[in-house]
Structure 1
Amino acid sequence: MTKPLQEMSLEELWQLFPIELKAPDQKYAAWYEAAKQNLLALLQDFHITRISHIGSTAVPGLIAKPIVDILLELPAGYEQAALTERLTAAGWLLMNQQADEELLDFNRGYTPAGFAEKVFHLHVKPAGDWGELYFRDYLIAHPDVAQDYAALKKRLKREFEHDRDAYTDGKGEFVRRVTELGREEFAGRYRN
């Protein structure tokens, strides 16, 4: 019998959900649009400020983990408990909460048997000038930098296929540097 995900150790989860990198695929944009429409309908009374497709699947031509990342921005002071209740009732799993900063992370598509066909990460934050948007935009505007990122991801996957934290940490400096370049090039683009 398979253990529920909440009862698995980090090592068990990393074995079940290794780092996978897939060729670019236009289906990710369609997955995002469908998820966006579902979230807009589900959360219509939460006054969504902005909803965005972020991460590597939002960058044309970039290899990516087959996971669609969504940034959902709400007015500061949003009702975290009510939002969590609504999303979990709709099948989203709360993975991380930093209540004092109004940050919530949910996922969908992780099963005790491994990845489902469609996998999503939903990052909920108060409306802001978030770095993820600048990182995405810079990679789109600079395909050569996106290919440098692809090479880094391939190397890190070889080293850390079953250690998601080390894989993410290994991208950290690159992401910080490119985010800052994006903030310089597109200064203030996402200020409300």
Structure 2
Amino acid sequence: MMSKPDFLGGSGQDHFRPELQVESPEGELHLRFFIPSHQEFALLATGIREVIELSPDKITPIPNVSPLLLGTLNLRGRVIWVADLGQFLGGTTALNTDRAEIPVIAIEEQDTIVGLAVDEIGGMHWLDVQHLMAPTNVPDTMAPFLRGEWLLDAHKKQCLRLLDQTAILRSARWAG
């Protein structure tokens, strides 16, 4: 009998409630990650082109652009914008770029690619979307970019919020 690779089911020390994880790869595969405010988010894996960790000096700052944008990055011969996802979602804490590597999630729709710089990658997990709930207690700046949330711990009011990558890519906020 073959066992599943570790990346399919998460670590054995996952803090998810068991009913949220799908034991066989029948649910939807998601990437979990954190922004500087320590909030946890997820993106559907099918909209992610790739996830890279790179030195901050690989991101070229561009003057006179939106403060949400850290700069540009050469992604396999294609120049893409890299944004601080936490600030894009309305957070006040800027991403710490004074470190060895910055995790960047390159999301793609049709011919548009944007790199989302995050604080930490949590890993790939199969999640049961049947347990997805409408987001609660969400700031107005974040609400248009959420598809829902999973409750992780009711006592600590921790949740995992599912982002809508299409809404992020099509946002008018990039021009601001």
Same fold flag (TM > 0.5):
no
Q: Considering fraction of residues, name the structure with more helix.
A: 1
Q: Considering fraction of residues, name the structure with more strand.
A: 2
TM-score between both structures, scaled by the size of structure 2 = 0.31
TM-score between both structures, scaled by the size of structure 1 = 0.30
